[in-house]
């Protein structure tokens, strides 16, 4: 059973953490200023701007920042500052009981995929795959606008797929899960990977060659997880070669499953990055070319 977080509203505090790669204040400030102008309070993690090589500080400091945001009653949502690498190193040390007792919105993508899926697996908390903070002000604020539209919707919500392509027609219902393909692949075989049985899976990637994507999808298939999904959505594959090659590769993997497969959802790396809730019942319909959730994301 999924746990829904309380709704984020204007005037609430947003905690900002960097559980993966490092960044400078100048990279975050435009988005912080934008959130403040919209009426949100901003609470920066104590170690937000720390740097230890390719990590945003030590494992201890990044873990402390994550825990402190779930402890802090003034923080109503937790936004991750950027992706990069590092969340995998934290998964076996996270206090999941703390998170389950204090459910909150947590948002990010790319390397943050590991954190979102692990939290959902261990607690049932609905998490949010969407823009990181240093990208909120980009795309003329459209990604932030779509994020806030989802957060303000009281009931069901739908995403338009009409600019995409139905690779295999059909209609399916299932729990919406997904994220960065590399991170999903790395979670296989760990206690932090959710079951994909009867799920609608979405995948996205950046900067991976076709043979590496083949290897990750094959790993997913050999694990038995890919064979259990109810539907597949192919998001952005930026700098990964010709998207038609990705389509053919994906169809090689799932064509015998007789499930709906669509491409073209603007999720993940790229100019547009829509926000999707992980852990809620959804419907994928290739006739109407929509993906919809059947209930509110919030309690």
Catalytic residue among 47, 135, 182, 204: 204
Can you state the percent helix, strand and coil of the chain, rounding each to 5? Answer: 35, 25, 40
* Secondary structure letter of residue 136 according to DSSP: T
110 is catalytic: yes
269 a catalytic residue: yes
Residue closest to 18 by CA, chosen among 86, 99, 116: 86
Which of 182, 222, 174, 221 is CA-nearest to residue 201?
174
The closest of 164, 127, 160 to 146, measured between CA atoms, is 160
Among 129, 119, 236, 246, CA closest to 176:
129
- Residue of 110, 182, 185, 263 marked catalytic: 110
Residue 123 class from Cβ within 10 Å (0-12 exposed, 13-18 middle, 19+ buried)?
A: buried
**Would you please indicate which residues are annotated as catalytic (active-site) residues?**
110, 204, 269
């Amino acid at each position: 059973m999924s746990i829904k977080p309380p709704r984020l509203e204007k005037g609430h505090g947003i905690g900002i953490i960097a559980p993966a790669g490092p960044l400078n204040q100048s990279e975050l400030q435009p988005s912080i200023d934008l959130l403040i102008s919209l009426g949100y309070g901003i609470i920066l993690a104590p170690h937000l701007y720390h740097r230890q090589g390719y990590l945003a500080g030590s494992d201890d400091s990044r873990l402390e920042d994550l825990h402190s945001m779930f402890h802090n009653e003034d923080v109503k949502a937790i936004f991750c500052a950027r992706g990069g690498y590092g969340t995998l190193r934290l998964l076996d040390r996270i206090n999941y009981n703390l998170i389950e007792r204090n459910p909150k919105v947590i948002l990010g993508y790319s390397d943050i995929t590991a954190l979102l899926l692990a939290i959902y697996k261990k607690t049932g908390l609905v998490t949010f795959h969407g823009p990181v903070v240093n990208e909120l002000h980009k795309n003329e604020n459209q990604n932030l606008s779509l994020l806030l539209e989802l957060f303000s919707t009281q009931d069901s919500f739908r995403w338009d797929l009409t600019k995409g392509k139905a690779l295999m027609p059909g209609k399916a219902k299932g729990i919406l899960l997904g994220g960065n393909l590399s991170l999903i692949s790395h979670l296989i075989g760990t206690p932090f990977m959710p079951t994909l049985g009867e799920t609608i899976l979405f995948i996205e990637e950046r900067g991976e060659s076709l043979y590496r994507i083949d290897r990750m999808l094959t790993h997913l298939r050999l694990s038995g997880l890919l064979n259990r999904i109810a539907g597949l959505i192919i998001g952005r594959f930026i700098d990964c070669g010709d998207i038609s090659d990705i389509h053919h590769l994906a169809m090689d993997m799932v064509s015998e499953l007789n499930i709906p497969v669509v491409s073209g959802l603007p999720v993940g790396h790229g100019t547009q990055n829509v926000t999707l809730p992980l852990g809620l019942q959804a419907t994928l319909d290739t006739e109407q070319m929509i993906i919809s959730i059947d209930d509110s994301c919030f309690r």
